[in-house]
C-alpha cells in the first residue's frame, strides 16, 4: 500500500506539473505583441444618419395621398407622397394638340416651298430663253447689216433689249435666292418651335412621374411639410429624409471630462460585435443635465454593423501610444512602474523577469522594456511554483 501511495503521489505531481507548466499557464498567459495602447474616459452615444436629404416639391400642387408617415423606414424607390396630377395631364394634352398643329404647319410650309421653288425655277428658265432669243436675233441683224438689209438703229435697239433682259435675269436670281432663304428660315423656325414643344412635352411627362415622390435612398422619414389635401408651392420643402448610407455618432459625456472632448480628438466606438475608430466633430456649447453633447465622425461610416438609434459605448482617448509593445491589462500590474512578472520560457518553465511598464489602458498595457515581442507573460495568480527557475532581468 505504501508503494501504491507513493506511485499515486508521483502521478499526481506529474499531472499537476503538466497542467501548470503547459495548458494551465498557456491559457492564463498574455502574448506580447505590438499595437495601440490608450487611456480613455467613458462616454455614450447613439448611431445617427450622417446626412439628411431635403426633398422639394417639383411643382405647385395639392397633396393627393401620403403613403409613408413620419418615422417610417423607406427603401430607395419607395413612393412616399403622391401629388395631384390633373393640371399636369391637362398641360400634356394641350402641348400635344399644339405640337400637332405645328407639325401640320411645317408640312404645309414644306409643300408651299416646293411649289415656290418650281415657280421660281420656271421664271428663270423663261428669262434665260428670252435672252437666248435676243442674242440669236442680234446675230441675224448683224448679218443683215453687213449686206445693208437693216439699219444700225435697229441693232442698237436689240442690244439694249439684251442688256435689259440680262439685268432682269440677274435681278430675278437675287430675288429667288432671298425667297429661298426666307422659306428655309420659316421651316427652321417651325422646326425649332416643334423641338421646343417636344422638350416641353417630355418635361411634363417626366414631371408626371415626379409627382410620385420617391425615396432617393434608404432612410427614415423625419418630417413631412403638409397634410393630405393641402396645397404646396413649387420648390418648397416637402420631405426631410435621413440618409442611411452613412452614419455618425451623437455622443454625450460628463461635464467634468469636457477637457478631453475637442474637435479632432480620437474616439473608439464599441459595439457588441466590433470596434470602430472615429474623431470628435462638432461640440455643442453649453451643458445640459451635467452632460456635454458632441458628434463623432467615423472612419468607416458605411459599415453595415451600424444601425440607426443603436446605443454604443465611446472611449474618448486621453492619451495613446501607437505601435508599441503591449500585453493584456491586469489588476496586478500598475501603470508607469517597474515590476517582476513570470515569463514562460521555451521549456514551459516560469522565469521571473523585471519589466518596465508604461501607460495602462482598459484592454492593454504598454511595455517599455524587459520583454520581447512573442513572449508569454503569466498574468494570473498561480499558487504552484514547483520547478521554476528564477532569473531577474533588468
Cβ pair 247, 49 in contact under 8 A: yes
**For residues 62 and 69, what is the distance between their CA atoms, to the nearest angstrom?**
17
Distance CA 86, CA 70 (A): 26
Q: Is 199 left (phi over 0), alpha (psi -120 to 50) or beta?
A: alpha
Strands lying side by side in the sheet with 61-66:
212-214, 79-83, 61-66, 231-232
* pLDDT computed for residue 267 by the predictor: 92
**DSSP code, position 388:** -
Please give the chain's pLDDT, 394 residues, in tens.
787 676 777 766 555 454 444 433 344 678 999 998 988 899 999 988 888 888 998 888 899 999 999 888 888 899 999 999 888 899 999 999 988 888 888 888 888 878 888 888 888 888 888 888 888 888 887 878 777 777 778 878 888 888 888 888 888 888 888 888 888 888 888 888 889 988 989 988 888 888 999 988 888 888 898 888 899 888 888 998 887 778 889 999 998 888 889 888 899 998 888 888 899 988 988 888 889 999 999 888 776 677 878 899 999 998 888 899 999 988 888 889 998 888 988 888 888 889 999 998 888 989 999 999 999 988 774 433 333 333 333 2
**Of residues 278, 209, 237, 222, the one with CA closest to residue 73:** 222
Write down the residue that cell numbers 420643402 correspond to. Answer: 237
Residue pair 117/180 in contact by the 8 Å Cβ criterion? yes
User: Distance between CA atoms of 327 and 343, rounded to whole angstroms?
Assistant: 12
CA separation for the pair 353, 364 (Å, rounded) = 19
Question: Could you tell me which of 318, 314, 330, 388 has the C-alpha nearest to residue 364?
Answer: 330
Whole-model pTM: value is 0.50
Half-sphere exposure of 132 (CA within 13 A, CB side): 6
73 burial (CB, 10 Å; 0-12 / 13-18 / 19+) is middle
All three cell numbers of 310, joined, read 443603436
Query: What pLDDT score was predicted for residue 286?
Result: 81
Query: Helix, strand, coil: what percent of the chain each, to 5?
Result: 40, 35, 25
In angstroms, the CA 73 to CA 77 distance is 12
* Residue partners of 97: CB distance under 8 A and separation at least 6: none
* Cα four-point dihedral sign 45, 49, 51, 54: negative
For residues 238-268, one letter each, b for 16 or more C-beta atoms within 10 angstroms of the residue's C-beta and e for the rest, the string is bbbbbbbeebbbebbbeeeeeebbeeebbbb
Would you state the pLDDT for residue 393? 31
Q: In whole angstroms, what is the distance from residue 269 CA to residue 263 CA?
A: 16
Sequence-ordered strand ranges (E) for the chain: 29-31, 33-56, 61-66, 73-74, 79-83, 212-214, 219-224, 231-232, 237-254, 266-270, 275-283, 291-298, 311-328, 338-344, 350-360, 364-369, 376-378
Chain-centre distance of CA 389, in angstroms? 63
pLDDT at 388: 33
Residue 196 to residue 236: CA distance in whole angstroms: 27
Amino acid at each position: 500500500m505504501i508503494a501504491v501511495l507513493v506511485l499515486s503521489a508521483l502521478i499526481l505531481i506529474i499531472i499537476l506539473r503538466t497542467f501548470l507548466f503547459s495548458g494551465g499557464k498557456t491559457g492564463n498567459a498574455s502574448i506580447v505583441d505590438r499595437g495601440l495602447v490608450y487611456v480613455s474616459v467613458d462616454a455614450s452615444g447613439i448611431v445617427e444618419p450622417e446626412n439628411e436629404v431635403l426633398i422639394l416639391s417639383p411643382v405647385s400642387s395639392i397633396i393627393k395621398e401620403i403613403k409613408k408617415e413620419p418615422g417610417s423606414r423607406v427603401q430607395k424607390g419607395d413612393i412616399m407622397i403622391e401629388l395631384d396630377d390633373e393640371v399636369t395631364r391637362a398641360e400634356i394634352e394641350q402641348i400635344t394638340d399644339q405640337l400637332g398643329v405645328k407639325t401640320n404647319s411645317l408640312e404645309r410650309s414644306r409643300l408651299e416651298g416646293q411649289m415656290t421653288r418650281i415657280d421660281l425655277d420656271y421664271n428663270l428658265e423663261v428669262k434665260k430663253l428670252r435672252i437666248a432669243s435676243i442674242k440669236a436675233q442680234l446675230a441675224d441683224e448683224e448679218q443683215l447689216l453687213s449686206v445693208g438689209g437693216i439699219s444700225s438703229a435697229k441693232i442698237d435697239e436689240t442690244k439694249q433689249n439684251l442688256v435689259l433682259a440680262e439685268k432682269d435675269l440677274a435681278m430675278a436670281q437675287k430675288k429667288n435666292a432671298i425667297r429661298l432663304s426666307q422659306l428655309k428660315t420659316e421651316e427652321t423656325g417651325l422646326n425649332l418651335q416643334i423641338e421646343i414643344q417636344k422638350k416641353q412635352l417630355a418635361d411634363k411627362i417626366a414631371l408626371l412621374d415626379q409627382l410620385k415622390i420617391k425615396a432617393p435612398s434608404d432612410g427614415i422619414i423625419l418630417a413631412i411639410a403638409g397634410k393630405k389635401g393641402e396645397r404646396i408651392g413649387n420648390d418648397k420643402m416637402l420631405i426631410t429624409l435621413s440618409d442611411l448610407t452613412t452614419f455618425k455618432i451623437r455622443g454625450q459625456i460628463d461635464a467634468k471630462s469636457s477637457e478631453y472632448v475637442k474637435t479632432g480628438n480620437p474616439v473608439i466606438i464599441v459595439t457588441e460585435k466590433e470596434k470602430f475608430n472615429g474623431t470628435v466633430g462638432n461640440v455643442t456649447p453649453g451643458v445640459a443635465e451635467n452632460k456635454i453633447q458632441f458628434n463623432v465622425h467615423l472612419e468607416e461610416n458605411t459599415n453595415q454593423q451600424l444601425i440607426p438609434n443603436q446605443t454604443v459605448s465611446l472611449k474618448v482617448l486621453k492619451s495613446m501610444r501607437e505601435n508599441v509593445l503591449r500585453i493584456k491589462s491586469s489588476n496586478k500590474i500598475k501603470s508607469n512602474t517597474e515590476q517582476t512578472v513570470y515569463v514562460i520560457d521555451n521549456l514551459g518553465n516560469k522565469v521571473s523577469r523585471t519589466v518596465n511598464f508604461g501607460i495602462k489602458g482598459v484592454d492593454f498595457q504598454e511595455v517599455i522594456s524587459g520583454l520581447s515581442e512573442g513572449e508569454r507573460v503569466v498574468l494570473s495568480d498561480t499558487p504552484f511554483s514547483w520547478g521554476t527557475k528564477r532569473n531577474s532581468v533588468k
